[in-house]
């Protein structure tokens, strides 16, 4: 299953990017294949990257974040 990733460009402008293109400090959001937004455990749907993306031991793209 592949998710759509959008990175914030400016105040309310978003651009699609590949997950592995995220960098520290990026504000991003994700959508499921059906268009539904990905909602985090705390109910947030936007995150700030605080690490570099990597593939975890289970083969899942992962990144350290905190909620906005």
pLDDT tens profile 20-66? 999 999 999 999 999 999 998 889 999 999 999 999 999 999 999 98
**Which two three-digit tokens encode residue 33?**
């294949």
Q: What is the pTM of this model?
A: 0.89
Domain of 58 in residue numbering reads as 4-67
State the Cα–Cα distance between residues 52 and 65, nearest whole angstrom. 10
Considering its fold, how many domains does the chain have in total?
1
Say whether pLDDT at 19 is over 80.
yes
């Amino acid at each position: 299953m592949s998710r759509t990733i959008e990175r914030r460009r400016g105040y309310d402008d978003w651009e699609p990017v590949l997950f592995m293109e995220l960098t520290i400090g990026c504000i991003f959001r994700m959508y499921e294949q059906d268009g539904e937004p990905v909602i985090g455990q705390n109910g947030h749907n936007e995150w700030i990257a605080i690490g570099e993306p990597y593939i975890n031991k289970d083969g899942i793209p992962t990144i350290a974040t905190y909620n906005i």
